[in-house]
Amino acid sequence: MFLNGKRALVTGSTSGIGLAIARAYAAEGAEVVLNGFGDAAEIERLCAELGARHVGADLTRTQGVEELMEAAGPVDVLVNNAGMQHVAPVESFPPEKWDAILALNLSAAFHTARLAVPHMKAQGWGRIICTASAHSLAASPFKSAYVAAKHGIAGLTKVLALELAEHGVTANCISPGYVWTPLVENQIPDTMAARGMTREEVISKVLLDKQPTRKFVQPEEVAALAVFLCGDAAQNINGANYTIDGGWTAE
Ligand code: NAD
């Protein structure tokens, strides 16, 4: 229970990867703050399961991030995980989707970090972890906003790592390949339209084709690394971008 006495905020933790990270932190004794949308009764059940609080702020809005940070209080571990996807050719990519994806997948991480850092610096300890993506290192067609935002968050994380290195605070990215979550499931219909494929073809020829293992990554595998990065053994891991992608970005 090495996270006893530590407060961990995981954005976008009502589902998928964020929920797995929140569960893993709670299992290590952290006081977890959940964020994200979902069914109210299910979120209440999750809070009871994890002994957590939930703040449902909309992080596409700067004010929403500020409300989240105010309600959370000082955080020791910050995981910028909330994200969304939209799949469309660039000429028909809706500008409002571009704005929302950049706001949530990139700008929200700047705003959480700027508000979390003063406490981390003052106490001389902190961990910032960003769920980036294999798309922080490599591109795919029809994902202009997502790829731009994920390359951006990888850069932002390096800057945080350099600025905070002397203050006992580390900042790192975890970059999964395809993990079977609602974010992936929801992009299948648009990918079918953009590429003229069936659902089965999208799964085997677009998603799993990227991963030499031909298997989806499990959320718990991402969570295990997020736990490791909080430990003393990871105190000199700073500014790194760890892939968990079955070999996708090795090609
Ligand atoms: P998910 O859809 O299961 O979870 C997304 C979470 O973000 C949910 O809790 C949702 O409620 C929350 N969220 C959505 N819009 C929000 C908003 N406006 N404000 C606050 N919260 C909001 O998705 P996931 O696959 O678990 O994705 C989590 C992160 O992992 C994302 O940053 C995603 O880009 C990244 N990622 C996912 C995969 C994958 O294959 N699933 C791969 C690489 C990276």
Q: Residue ranges per domain, the chain?
A: 7-180+217-244
Query: Ligand 1: does its nearest atom lie under 6 Å from the Cβ of 243?
Result: no
Q: CA torsion angle for 138, 132, 233, 228 (degrees, to 10)?
A: -120
Query: Ligand 1: does its nearest atom lie under 6 Å from the Cβ of 60?
Result: yes
Ligand 1: which residue has its CA nearest to atom 9? Answer: 12
Whole-model pTM? Answer: 0.98
Query: Ligand 1: does its nearest atom lie under 6 Å from the Cβ of 81?
Result: yes
- Residue 49: pLDDT band by 50, 70, 90 thresholds? very high
Q: Is 178 assigned a catalytic role?
A: no
In the prediction, which pLDDT does 220 show? 98
Buried residues in 47-63 as b, exposed as e (16+ CB within 10 A): eeebebbbbbbbbbeee
Query: pLDDT digits over 157-194, tens only?
Result: 999 999 999 999 999 999 999 999 998 999 999 999 99
List Cα–Cα distances, 162 to 120, 157, 165, in angstroms.
14, 9, 5
Query: pLDDT digits over 199-210, tens only?
Result: 999 999 999 999
User: Spelled out in words, what is the top-level CATH class assigned to the domain 7-180+217-244?
Assistant: alpha beta
What is the token pair recorded at 18?
Answer: 């964020």
Ligand 1: which residue has its CA nearest to atom 12? Answer: 12
Spatial distance between the Cα atoms of 251 and 248, rounded to a whole number of angstroms: 6
